[in-house]
Structure 1
């Protein structure tokens, strides 16, 4: 018997030959409509006898071709296939609002040795997602799994783990608009799902390098019929690792410490305390372009979203090159479902960022405000955004970049004259944009290729405004008080 949190390590590849079946116990915490991604650590466990009380039409496999869950091919004789993940709903007897803690038993022969799964990939860059799982009664290292010679050409170096932290929406495939997935990238790090700040924190939800016993997870295949090979060499000898992803709050099981990486996590908190995190990491293997094995795009675009931008890529995890360049500029984007004050803050940090040795400047290009997030968070006002704003914020590492911006700004003056703002500088003006304190565009004026332009302030309310001066050498930001 292997109790919850325990591991069984088998040193050779032979099949267990003892008498009787083994039992591997796993504790899960579920509400009635919650799902868990399960994977059996034993062979012979009947699929429909595992969670008695869950309707059989809510026990699913994942269909890669249409990005949906289904029951095709499953029946009362079906058993858990080694290395395959299954989505199983909570039992009818569970409360729909309060999680029930229950011990689930896997009964059968412990899986051991080499196990191979064939992955599917339909045409298209957004295809190839397969629900697989840890096939052993011990934790496995995802980094070792993804980097193994037999696998590195089969899957991308990323895994996605389902949590039940957020309200489940009746959506699948491309229509899914939530963010219940935690993401892990080997050698880079992990990021937790969307959460309510104050009720739990992302650090407690963040995946690390080891995948727990009975855990199902999603990988993306690089080509159709790609083999995913599990071996005993991938099995971890300790019970530390990521949390077991099924709970409605942080797990109290120990987590395995990760290697030190120069990285930091940022969080955006909206007026309803809905929080999203991103990870920026500098590693030797990465470039400052999109790296398919080290950068992770948003798995889904939620109603509240936060990500870093690299070209056309919307990244939840961005890996950048070493050494860290003081000239780095990292654009950020966000979307919020609630108008009001939002917060961007430093959530966690490692390596050179750990002891405040390396500044992390957040620049608000609308207000011109620059904040060192090592010293405190930044609060800003936003209207409801149904489409992401990817032009307002950026991360900088050096005062020299800011000094160059300030020098350009100081070459321009804006002053009131009667009912106008007069803008004057040393370059031609291509146009003016005026924003209120919530970053809403309230007035715009085309340029006339001269170095002076007037913008009327008639009808504007009293308060703070931000003017964007579009010049032949770039955009200059000025704060104005009406």
Structure 2
């Protein structure tokens, strides 16, 4: 007993020495005692001053202190589940921060030299750095020094990370890392730290230590082994442990709780005192998919929830929690397809009353492949495999995965006689060429058509292991090169039974390349049909023979393969089980040809095609040949030629039926002359080819097309024919050799006989024989083209035109008067200034009528007949000034020759001048030259120099009614409207006024005076109230003022009071040629009227008014009166008489009475001394004053 007691006391004495100042285990209640953490209960660190059993900051503070809160981390049956406080490490800091917990201040308390220390803690990580950073470590000092006994942490990927790794270190060299630990799940981590040899002294590099990490050990069990370990030697500062350091790192989001420190494994993996729950019983998974399944179990009493942990080939994948005691299933998602997983279920207790159950027995479940197929038949020739490409690459297409593969367009023939135009090449085994087939539901037979390379001609068939995720070898196959045809592959039929989904891989296991032509995977095995026996061939003819064989049972047809020169030459198919021969035609010449036959099946329903038979006896085939001879077309002078070819390599010969066209020289066709000849091509054959059938074609030799220099055509005067003048031909060129021919005749023809300048004529040439053997029969000259003139016959006429000959080609000049009194067509008519043209019949002109104008006068035109053609009406404008004009043609634009702009009058005074030419006002609308002119409307044209303007188009004729309204606005323009003569002739104002009763009887003309050099403008007035007794106030106008309004003359009219708007009509009855000199008006009472003409004089400027007496007039305002159009000038006065509110330039009164008063008025826009005088006093009684 004393001995036992002594040993017991000795053991206790050792423990006492190790734990002299540190009581082990150090638990969460010590690590998170009130005195150990910040008084604010939210931050971990109490400050930067070291103190025993407190958390404090060493060094510079980087970011905020880790925070603390109530612990909610748990691990199955761990003693510190949801106990005390947890630490939260802040990932938002930008530099590392270290929080220290001082375990002791004495090196002897926790010494090195063989003692094993354990640290356990609950860890839940939400994010981790992309490179290894310190998570926690021990240290042999209390304020600063090197970290020893470390754990580092790193995310599994720089981006898209799903978990993290922990790595053990003593000081510098990282050890084996842990398996991947998922984010956002709680795990129990145990760090084992053994200082095998303590550094002595502490700063000497002679220490040795080992760090090992355990992840999720079994609570309450003994210590197991771990591969995550590292041992380092020659390390300083391994003499003891004084402090635990937790590192807060940028990017590290983590929670730490349940800290326990001891020298005993049992202390750090201590189980909760609460009883364990009953272990659930799992059942088969359901709802299998490509990404997961439903885990199932039986619920147990008192459970608060269930943790389902999923593993793949022993590697932990994830945990899914199902809450509630009665939960018996949960969906597991986010898994990879077509892998076998296992899962366990742990019933979770409430920690206080019940601990977690032990994990259940593992249950397996295999996820599905979404691309599973029922069978495979891929021959790579259907056009859907182009994604593979022509160079070695890794690619997935059509459910296949290819590694180091390419697509080849090379034809190979299978040992069953089938043809493969496309194949997949797999690189050699060194580079890893392989193809992975789609997953199939079940397998009974695999058929592979393949050809391997030049070294170790083998390939391997492997099957996917859903548990390991690797491919396991099924078998290796070797390509047999013995007795193989050059381009014939091998067929490998592999019977293999799989009743559940599986997938296979074909790997090139040779050093040369491998070509796969076809892969077939069947769900049921088929029977190979018997191979036919081939018999001798018969009926050997040119390019053909008959192949013969014995039939076999169950065949649906036969494939006939013809070989020669060591390779497949032709493949044919014959249908029907009982067919035993096939007629082959159209082959090449083949020496030592052989025939092999395979039987065809029902499409792999019950049978598969047989292999090819043995070869027939050798034979030779004499090939047929054909001649290809296109219809030849040549030109005289072409070189010799040989156009025919044969389907063989033999040369044909020729014969010609017409030696005047072609002969045969040195085996070629030689052209002699233009024409046709029958050429026959022949080939008689040789030992390899039969004679070809003759082919005859018609040779056409065309004439040589000559070219000719530009011809010219002499001008001719109109003669009524389309024949051109004399043609002068150009020089010929394009002859063969030294030959020449000549132009015999050259005749030009115009498309019509009409007068024209630069008319295009067609020239027809004829050739004649020339020198050097040149024959016209061998040459051709195309019709030419040239231009020439047909000039008109100049004719000056007067009087009646009549029906003279050749008028259609005549240019008629009229110098005085011409009357067209018979239907006729002429080329043109030009009417001189002042001359007169009268049309009283049907007249057509080709080149129109020109009405000329100059300072002496303007030509006029009357039309009571029918005129077809156009006119050009000229109007001479003598100086740079404003001219009042109108258009005599139906549609025209305002002329622009020396014209700056135009204006039209707006009686309503509502014109918007913005954007219009200079000078525009509310009454005057400015128009650019080239603006369309309205028939019957008057315009002011602003000439910038002496000019003649032209109006071209269809002449106005017949009745014309203005398309615009003449208006009266007494508040604005007071009814004055600017209109124009619409005809190319004079019009009689008395007739116009008489026909337009809504207008006053007066017309006004604005023109220049004659009494002042340079002239100023004035208004002349014509009153035709009594047509035979005109009243005119000319006001010294520089032209004769009559009732006849010249062509193209604009003038003023006034709408009568009470008429808001009206239009204006003109007729041919109003038209006249200009008045002849001496033509006396027929006005017998003209001289009986009493007239008083008064003139108001301002220096050289004058204005006048007229008062006359007529028994039909009244003394109030009526048609016998003419309103005054005011000059509104600062130099030219306005003189008028007054009747009521009207100012009159012509005042018609009833009769003269004694002591008669005549109200007069005048206006001048400037101060001046004026004189009034009477310039006319006619037909008054003698003594009247």
Q: Does the alignment reach a TM-score above 0.5?
A: yes
Please name the residue that 2:36 is paired with: none
CA-based RMSD of the aligned residues comes to: 3.3
2:1094–2:1106 contact (8 Å) kept in structure 1? no
Would you say 1:209 and 2:1058 are equivalent positions?
no
Please name the residue that 2:926 is paired with: 71
2:899–2:929 contact (8 Å) kept in structure 1? no
1:2–1:25 contact (8 Å) kept in structure 2? no
Please name the residue that 1:18 is paired with: 868
Please name the residue that 1:163 is paired with: 1007
Distance change >3 Å, CA 111–CA 192, structure 1 → 2: same
State how far apart, in whole Å, the 2-side matches of 1:11 and 1:141 are. 20
1:190–1:206 contact (8 Å) kept in structure 2? no
Would you say 1:240 and 2:1069 are equivalent positions?
no
Normalised to the residue count of structure 1, the TM-score between the two structures is 0.55
**SS across alignment from 2:868:** coil
Please name the residue that 1:308 is paired with: 1137
Give the deviation of 1:38 after TM superposition: 0.5
Give the deviation of 1:10 after TM superposition: 5.4
Would you say 1:184 and 2:1022 are equivalent positions?
yes
Match of 1:133 among 968, 977, 980: 980
State how far apart, in whole Å, the 2-side matches of 1:265 and 1:5 are. 35
Please name the residue that 1:298 is paired with: 1124
Normalised to the residue count of structure 2, the TM-score between the two structures is 0.24
Give the deviation of 1:82 after TM superposition: 2.0
1:308–1:332 contact (8 Å) kept in structure 2? yes
State how far apart, in whole Å, the 2-side matches of 1:135 and 1:41 are. 5
Distance change >3 Å, CA 185–CA 284, structure 1 → 2: same
Would you say 1:105 and 2:950 are equivalent positions?
yes
Distance change >3 Å, CA 156–CA 29, structure 1 → 2: same
- Deviation larger for 107-116 or 220-229: 220-229
Match of 2:1159 among 288, 309, 331: 331
State the aligned residue count: 304
2:1020–2:1041 contact (8 Å) kept in structure 1? yes
Please name the residue that 1:221 is paired with: 1055
Give the deviation of 1:286 after TM superposition: 1.3
1:266–1:277 contact (8 Å) kept in structure 2? yes
2:965–2:1063 contact (8 Å) kept in structure 1? yes
Distance change >3 Å, CA 263–CA 211, structure 1 → 2: farther
Give the deviation of 1:26 after TM superposition: 2.5
Would you say 1:39 and 2:879 are equivalent positions?
no
State how far apart, in whole Å, the 1-side matches of 2:1105 and 2:951 are. 36
Give the deviation of 1:333 after TM superposition: 2.9
Largest Rg, 1 or 2: 2
2:883–2:942 contact (8 Å) kept in structure 1? yes
1:5–1:26 contact (8 Å) kept in structure 2? no
Distance change >3 Å, CA 333–CA 61, structure 1 → 2: closer
**SS across alignment from 1:124:** coil
Give the deviation of 1:204 after TM superposition: 5.4
For 1:314-370, what per-residue CA distance to the aligned partner results, in whole angstroms no more than 9, with x for missing partners?
221101115x444533233345656557241324x65x25xxx55552xxxxxxxxx
Give the deviation of 1:52 after TM superposition: 1.6
State how far apart, in whole Å, the 2-side matches of 1:254 and 1:112 are. 28
Distance change >3 Å, CA 130–CA 312, structure 1 → 2: closer
Which segments of 5 or more consecutive residues in structure 1 lack a partner in the other structure? 95-99, 167-177, 194-201, 242-252, 362-482
2:1007–2:1017 contact (8 Å) kept in structure 1? no
Please name the residue that 1:447 is paired with: none
1:3–1:25 contact (8 Å) kept in structure 2? no
State how far apart, in whole Å, the 1-side matches of 2:1106 and 2:886 are. 28
Give the deviation of 1:312 after TM superposition: 3.3
For 1:131-174, what per-residue CA distance to the aligned partner results, in whole angstroms no more than 9, with x for missing partners?
111111211111111112xx11x2111212121449xxxxxxxx
2:872–2:952 contact (8 Å) kept in structure 1? yes
Please name the residue that 2:1149 is paired with: 320
- Deviation larger for 308-317 or 118-127: 118-127
Match of 1:52 among 897, 900, 921: 897
Match of 1:285 among 1102, 1107, 1112: 1112
**SS across alignment from 1:330:** coil
Q: 1:378-389, aligned counterparts within 5 Å?
A: none
State how far apart, in whole Å, the 2-side matches of 1:133 and 1:344 are. 35
2:840–2:866 contact (8 Å) kept in structure 1? no
**SS across alignment from 1:127:** coil
**SS across alignment from 1:147:** helix
Give the deviation of 1:284 after TM superposition: 3.8
For 1:386-413, what per-residue CA distance to the aligned partner results, in whole angstroms no more than 9, with x for missing partners?
xxxxxxxxxxxxxxxxxxxxxxxxxxxx
**SS across alignment from 1:136:** coil
State how far apart, in whole Å, the 2-side matches of 1:130 and 1:36 are. 16
State how far apart, in whole Å, the 2-side matches of 1:214 and 1:271 are. 33
Give the deviation of 1:309 after TM superposition: 2.5
State how far apart, in whole Å, the 2-side matches of 1:205 and 1:267 are. 20
Distance change >3 Å, CA 358–CA 23, structure 1 → 2: farther
Please name the residue that 1:276 is paired with: 1103
Q: 1:75-86, aligned counterparts within 5 Å?
A: 76=930, 78-86=931-939
State how far apart, in whole Å, the 2-side matches of 1:24 and 1:305 are. 36
For 1:291-325, what per-residue CA distance to the aligned partner results, in whole angstroms no more than 9, with x for missing partners?
1x221222115442222222333221101115x44
Give the deviation of 1:108 after TM superposition: 2.2
State how far apart, in whole Å, the 2-side matches of 1:256 and 1:315 are. 28
1:189–1:208 contact (8 Å) kept in structure 2? no
Which segments of 5 or more consecutive residues in structure 2 lack a partner in the other structure? 1-829, 842-862, 910-921, 1011-1015
State how far apart, in whole Å, the 2-side matches of 1:134 and 1:4 are. 18
- Deviation larger for 3-12 or 273-282: 3-12
**SS across alignment from 1:42:** coil
Which has more strand, going by share of residues?
Answer: 2
Please name the residue that 2:877 is paired with: 28
2:1019–2:1125 contact (8 Å) kept in structure 1? yes
1:294–1:318 contact (8 Å) kept in structure 2? yes
State how far apart, in whole Å, the 2-side matches of 1:84 and 1:103 are. 20
Distance change >3 Å, CA 45–CA 305, structure 1 → 2: same
1:35–1:88 contact (8 Å) kept in structure 2? yes
Distance change >3 Å, CA 122–CA 189, structure 1 → 2: closer
2:1108–2:1149 contact (8 Å) kept in structure 1? yes
Give the deviation of 1:273 after TM superposition: 2.5
Please name the residue that 2:556 is paired with: none
For 1:181-207, what per-residue CA distance to the aligned partner results, in whole angstroms no more than 9, with x for missing partners?
2222113412134xxxxxxxx275562
